Structure 1
Amino acid sequence: MEPSKPQNVKKNNLSLLTHLIKDHGPVSKKELSNLSGLSVVTINKLIPDLLKESIVFPFSTDVITGGRHAVSYVFNEKKKLLLVIKMVETDRTLYFYYYLCDLNGKVIKEKKLSAKDLEWSDFLATIDAWKKIYPEIKGIVLGVPGVETSGVLKLVDYPMLKNRAVQQELMDKFKCHVQVENDVNAAILGYAMNQEKNKIISGIYYPLSFPPGGGVSINQKLLKGQNNFVGEVADFPLVADWSKKNLADVDLKKHIYEVLQIFMSTYDPHEVVIYAAVERISINLIDVISKQLIAAYPALNTPKIVLSRKFNTDYLTGLISLGMNELND
């Protein structure tokens, strides 16, 4: 094995100190030495680099050491900012929700705008306004009820975005990292981030006005496939008719049971989270389906079925998680 190059060692040590200060700050050099295993001498050489880049700030305490005030360091959570944009159906109307997040994933500002009659130029102008007020924005994450294939949003029921290379156009326009993620994928990831890391979690979302969507998270990472098509339950070869005129008449008990069987045979998940409004699916229905599944597969550990009303909460959590992974890398 070749020894690490000095520049790589320094880069890794700076990254280590950054994460330690973020997780434990305010923290002193001596404490950093104990946490990192690096000598105080090495830390003395590295801290100026972090201060110069405004990654950390000095934080004076009242503790006096050798006649001097000890200096601790805190993480600068606003060194970079993340703009999260999610499309959401509320009261059968589509809206764009904008969230400004710091490097701790905390939402520090938010805004809601109707998506009705919105043109692409209007959308760009809105983002541009955010960037001018907050030039620290270094990443954008967009959540959409659609599927991006080969860099183009193809399966999306919204004219402004359909057949548009959204990610590339936003990157070219705003010169920052951009991610575009399916809304259900993001919600399932958000749910998974609050569970044990080694779990396989599948999910289904039954919105009021659109066909269902689904997704899979393995070890808190999305499984998407070559076309980002994993979990598109509305396209499973089942008899359910998801046309608008028939949407409310689909036998959801039958559909959920069949989808669960497919998920079990393909991903064998520990849990399946089902998102639906109260008027769509009841907890009693989930209990019936769960017992039916256990009876059908007595030799298996069937997945835990969770009925959630927190789609939008998990959706936002997932989008923030995706953005934080990039900005904190």
Structure 2
Amino acid sequence: MKSQKPNDLKQHNIQAIRKLFIEQQHYLTKTEIARRTSLSVVTTNKLISEMIDAGELLALQQSVFTGGRKAMIYQLNKEYKYILTIRFYENDKKHTALLTVSNLYHECITTKILHLSENNIDCVWHEIITLLNDYSNISVIVIGIPGVEIDGEFKIMDFSSMKNINLRTQLKRITDLPVIIENDINAATYGFAKKKSTKEIVAGVYYLENYPPGSALVVHDRIFRGANGLSGELKHLSYYENLQFPVVNRSEVAALVEQSLRPIISMYDPHEVVIFDTNQLITEEIWGKISEKINQVFPYGYMANFKIYHDLSESYLIGLNELGLKIILEHPF
């Protein structure tokens, strides 16, 4: 087993303190920090001083009593680093980009909605440059797309204006920040799991009126993407070969949902399935029939817990922000 180099060990310890503050989101004393990170008091004192000098931690004026003595308290500077997220999605049949700048506590600093023309997304680049100029502490860019990036290009993409675009290369022309690109349903399912603070197996399915559904799988706090990022592309199932979109007929909607849930339950046996139905295709009546059929197909006395949401945006944003936070937690600032 290789021993860690001094600088590597130091960064590891800083990451532990950083993670503790982001998870706790409230003030802590030096003693609490040392105890919860398993660091020595001497190491904790030194690292806290360095993080205060860097502006990452704040030493608060007020103090707390601990066993009859006053102790200084410390808090993460939630404005120390910002995350820029870009959510591409369809809204009222319009291709839309929603840009959000968030702090380390997921609090929104600013947001901008852009409606994209069919063959032009230049407005997105202009807005990115504006935000980077306005907020110099943006440290990572996280992008959610309705498709899959393969070898740097969007090979599978619901937006024709973005198909085969190498977004990373274009972003490198305007910034040297870390860039993460994630599928929309992967991000939303991950956000749902993080919001619930669950380490269980969570599957997600995203239904849209005009496109085949996509699915995602989060296993013990990790997104499962497959070898090439193609995991969850339900449109490759034989059921969809002759299916025409949009699907609005009740019987077609019921069959569509059932045929997408069956393989997910069969292959992954998730604890929970979150269904994002932003076009509200699944009525209470339709879901009743689907649920009955699913229980007939899987008559084992146990079944995943199903949740239906008509809004994707909250979980989508949480998922992208969490992916950005991972980069910030691991990066040696």
Equivalent in the alignment of 1:15:
15
Equivalent in the alignment of 1:99:
100
Equivalent in the alignment of 2:133:
132
Q: Does 1:58 align with 2:62?
A: no
Do 1:59 and 1:74's aligned partners in 2 also have CA atoms closer than 8 Å? yes
What is the number of residues matched between the two proteins?
Answer: 326
Q: Which amino acid aligns with 1:26?
A: Y
Shift of 1:172: 4.4
Shift of 1:301: 2.6
TM-score (norm 1): 0.88
Equivalent in the alignment of 1:184:
185
- Structure 1 residues 18 and 211 mapped into 2: Cα distance closer, same or farther (>3 Å)? closer
Do 1:187 and 1:318's aligned partners in 2 also have CA atoms closer than 8 Å? yes
Shift of 1:175: 0.4
Shift of 1:252: 1.7
Equivalent in the alignment of 1:161:
162
Q: Does 1:43 align with 2:23?
A: no
Hey, what's the Cα distance between the residues in 2 that align with 1:64 and 1:304? 45
- Structure 1 residues 251 and 127 mapped into 2: Cα distance closer, same or farther (>3 Å)? same
**Which has the larger displacement, 115-124 or 133-142?**
115-124
Deviations 1:143-184, CA, capped at 9 Å, x for gaps: 111211122101113243211111233134310011111112
Q: Which amino acid aligns with 1:19?
A: K
Q: Which amino acid aligns with 1:152?
A: E
- Superposition pairs of residues 114-133 of structure 1, within 5 angstroms: 114-117=115-118, 119-133=120-134
Do 1:96 and 1:115's aligned partners in 2 also have CA atoms closer than 8 Å? yes
- Structure 1 residues 71 and 287 mapped into 2: Cα distance closer, same or farther (>3 Å)? same
Q: Which amino acid aligns with 1:84?
A: T
Q: Which amino acid aligns with 1:139?
A: V
Hey, what's the Cα distance between the residues in 1 that align with 2:134 and 2:168? 22
Deviations 1:170-219, CA, capped at 9 Å, x for gaps: 13431001111111221121222234533222222221333322222212
Equivalent in the alignment of 1:150:
151
Hey, what's the Cα distance between the residues in 2 that align with 1:297 and 1:74? 50
Hey, what's the Cα distance between the residues in 1 that align with 2:147 and 2:241? 20
- Structure 1 residues 24 and 119 mapped into 2: Cα distance closer, same or farther (>3 Å)? closer
- Structure 1 residues 226 and 109 mapped into 2: Cα distance closer, same or farther (>3 Å)? same
Shift of 1:69: 7.8
Task: Give aligned-pair identity as a percent.
Answer: 27
TM-score (norm 2): 0.87
- List runs of 5+ in structure 2 lacking aligned partners: none
- Superposition pairs of residues 1-329 of structure 1, within 5 angstroms: 1-22=1-22, 23=24, 25-61=26-62, 71-117=72-118, 119-195=120-196, 197-239=198-240, 241-244=242-245, 247-249=247-249, 251-277=252-278, 279-299=280-300, 301-329=302-330
What's the secondary structure of 2:316's corresponding residue?
helix
- Structure 1 residues 141 and 2 mapped into 2: Cα distance closer, same or farther (>3 Å)? closer
